[in-house]
Copies of this chain bind each other. A is one copy, B any other.
Amino acid sequence: MPLRKPLQDELNAFHAEICGALADTRRIAILYELAEGPKAVGELVSALDVPQATVSRHLKVLRERQMVTAQRDGAHVIYALADERIIAALDLLREVMRDILSRRAALAQAMTLEAS
């Protein structure tokens, strides 16, 4: 039985919010860094070579959507992935991406051949 439409819309809106958190180059990099294990903000900053304020702002986005957890440890704050399935989903999309890229490469190849 399908959901009532307004409810379905609301779920989709939340779903879009989750996806929106993934729709940024730096946040993707952060999530993959955290996939290796919990890290302090400073570690992320040096690993990604991005300004500290920028990393903090992105972490806030991920935190608000509960995709990462934050735990203070003295002067440091340790961030961790809240759910491994986020990485699983990203990996799945990376596979799709790879196929899209190889289709494009094949097309470029065909065009090159045709032109010669």
Contact = CB atoms under 8 A, between A and B. Distances in A.
Given A9-B25, A12-B29, A18 B93 contact: yes
Contacts of A66: 100, 103-104
A99 interface: yes
A100 to B, nearest CB: 5
- Copies of this chain, complex-wide, total 2
Instruction: Tell me the interface secondary structure of chain A in the complex.
Output: helix
Given A49-B5, A93-B86, A99-B83, A22 B16 contact: yes
Interface residues of A, number: 43
Contacts of A65: 100
B5 A25 contact: no
Contacts of A67: 96
A104 to B, nearest CB: 8
B49 A28 contact: no
Q: Top 7 A-B pairs ranked by shortest CB distance?
A: A20-B23, A19-B22, A19-B23, A89-B92, A89-B89, A23-B23, A12-B25
